[in-house]
């Protein structure tokens, strides 16, 4: 526990005003791909999954939700580009609102992190580049096997406005479905990040080269969705220091500050703020599983995150391997306004309560993260007090 801190009165569990939204605590359900939306349609399993993790005044972000037919790169991810998908999402959103929670839809296009098997007519995935993801990474196929990524097709300059329009329409659809807002997935090596990172973007047009050019696609998407649904319903996620799917950058701090500078200017020009900026800290493994020499790296990561937080003029959410104590410390030190939890929320539907009372946590089972079973590894993790009936192991983090 954070030294001298009472968990009941910790800022992590105190209310927070996120734009126009009044949150009862700072623990957020992070967006996580779960592959349970058969045929891209949210179903009753998703209703159960999200409502289990809803608390009065709590905040949730959906799994990555497809903005167009070319967006998928995993099996059975939900979409938000057809009327049928919108109607299906309404059942999920209504159930969450009935619990008194707030939910944003994360808008997602995987870009080159796809495969012809996921593309309309078996086409080639689109990207900022024609360079494939290296063979160090594998794509999950619909039959559960894994395969190499294939070379994508670099979007022509004239094609990019149509992709921007896909995001704008998806944002409008999200509001039609009842979502409180949207988060743009500009992180983790997916399409927007493929434009942002100089380790991927090798374009020679106005979308490549300089930082200003590499930020252009992101800012065009942000402007489009803001014009459609309002800044107060729009959030952005970035990961300048994450090299997931070969998404490396030669200067993560300059990259992050360039995005922050543009977001601040947009907010000043609009006279209103975006809902939040969500930044992934490069700490995907649990503490204690890194090399002993990683302490300096952790300190460097903390400086990067603190610099971005101090530079951004608005609500700052962070994620990436947070434990209870790390989250409490981040809020106490004002290194973050909100902390989103991923894997711990998968296995602990009542994570907010468990963190507050410092109860043992259910261990997650990684093998069931991306299966299509509507119950096992999805909605069958026990609430506190139910563990003996399931014989699942527990831990303290």
Instruction: List the structure tokens of 286.
Output: 């649990």
Q: Are 357 and 7 in contact (CB under 8 A)?
A: yes
- Please indicate whether residue 190 is annotated as part of the active site: yes
Q: Which of 40, 47, 105 is nearest to 71 (CA)?
A: 40
Neighbours of 346 (CB within 10 A): 24
**Strand, helix or coil at 90?**
helix
58 contacts: CB under 8 Å, gap ≥ 6 = 23, 24, 25, 27, 28, 29, 100, 101, 102, 352
- Tokens for 118, please give them: 């996921």
203 token code pair: 């374009």
Give the list of residues 6+ apart from residue 158 with CB closer than 8 angstroms, or none: none
Report the alpha-carbon distance of residue 127 to residue 141 in Å, rounded. 19
**Beta strand pairing call for 316-319 and 126-127:** unpaired
For residues 358 and 397, is the Cβ–Cβ distance under 8 A?
A: no
Residue 117, exposed/middle/buried by CB under 10 A (0-12, 13-18, 19+)?
A: middle
Q: Are 327 and 27 in contact (CB under 8 A)?
A: yes
Tell me the CB-side half-sphere exposure of residue 364, using CA atoms within 13 A: 19
Place of tokens 């992180």: 187
Catalytic residue among 50, 81, 190, 276: 190
Q: Can you list the positions of beta strands (E) in the chain?
A: 16-18, 21-23, 27-29, 59-66, 102-108, 126-127, 138-140, 146-148, 153-154, 181-186, 234-238, 276-280, 316-319, 338-341, 361-362, 394-395
Distances in whole angstroms, Cα of residue 203 to Cα of each of 198, 264, 359: 10, 26, 51
Q: Which of 193, 293, 286 is nearest to 236 (CA)?
A: 193
| Residues that are catalytic | 190
């Amino acid at each position: 526990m954070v030294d001298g801190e009472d968990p009941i009165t910790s800022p992590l569990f105190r209310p927070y005003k996120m734009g126009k939204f009044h949150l009862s605590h700072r623990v957020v359900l992070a967006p996580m791909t779960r592959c349970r939306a058969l045929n891209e349609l949210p179903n009753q399993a998703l209703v159960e999954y999200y409502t289990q993790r809803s608390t009065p005044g709590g905040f949730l972000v959906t799994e990555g939700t497809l903005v167009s037919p070319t967006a998928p790169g995993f099996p059975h991810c939900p979409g938000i580009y057809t009327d049928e998908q919108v109607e299906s999402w309404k059942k999920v959103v209504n159930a969450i609102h009935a619990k008194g929670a707030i939910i944003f839809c994360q808008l997602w296009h995987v870009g080159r992190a796809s495969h012809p098997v996921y593309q309309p007519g078996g086409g080639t995935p689109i990207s900022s580049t024609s360079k494939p993801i290296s063979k160090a990474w594998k794509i999950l196929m619909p039959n559960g096997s894994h395969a190499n990524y294939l070379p994508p097709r670099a979007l022509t300059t004239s094609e990019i406005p149509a992709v921007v329009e896909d995001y704008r329409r998806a944002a409008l659809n999200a509001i039609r479905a009842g979502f409180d807002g949207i988060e743009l997935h500009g992180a983790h090596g997916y399409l927007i990040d493929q434009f942002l990172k100089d380790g991927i973007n090798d374009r020679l047009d106005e979308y490549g080269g300089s930082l200003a050019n590499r930020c252009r696609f992101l800012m065009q998407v942000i402007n489009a969705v803001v014009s459609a649904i309002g800044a107060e319903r729009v959030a952005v996620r970035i990961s300048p220091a994450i090299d997931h799917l070969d998404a490396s950058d030669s200067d993560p701090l300059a990259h992050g500050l360039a995005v922050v500078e543009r977001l601040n200017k947009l907010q000043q020009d609009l006279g209103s703020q975006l809902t939040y900026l969500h930044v992934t800290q490069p700490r995907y493994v649990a503490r204690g599983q890194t090399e002993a020499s990683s302490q300096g790296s952790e300190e460097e990561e903390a400086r990067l995150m603190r610099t971005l937080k101090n530079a951004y003029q608005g609500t700052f959410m962070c994620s990436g391997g947070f434990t209870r104590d790390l989250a409490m410390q981040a809020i106490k030190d004002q290194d973050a306004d909100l902390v989103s939890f991923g894997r711990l929320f998968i296995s602990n539907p009542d994570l907010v309560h468990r963190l507050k009372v410092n109860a043992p946590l259910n261990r997650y089972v990684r093998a069931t993260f991306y299966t299509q079973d509507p119950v096992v590894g999805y909605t069958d993790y026990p609430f506190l007090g139910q563990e003996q009936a399931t014989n699942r192991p527990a831990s303290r983090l």
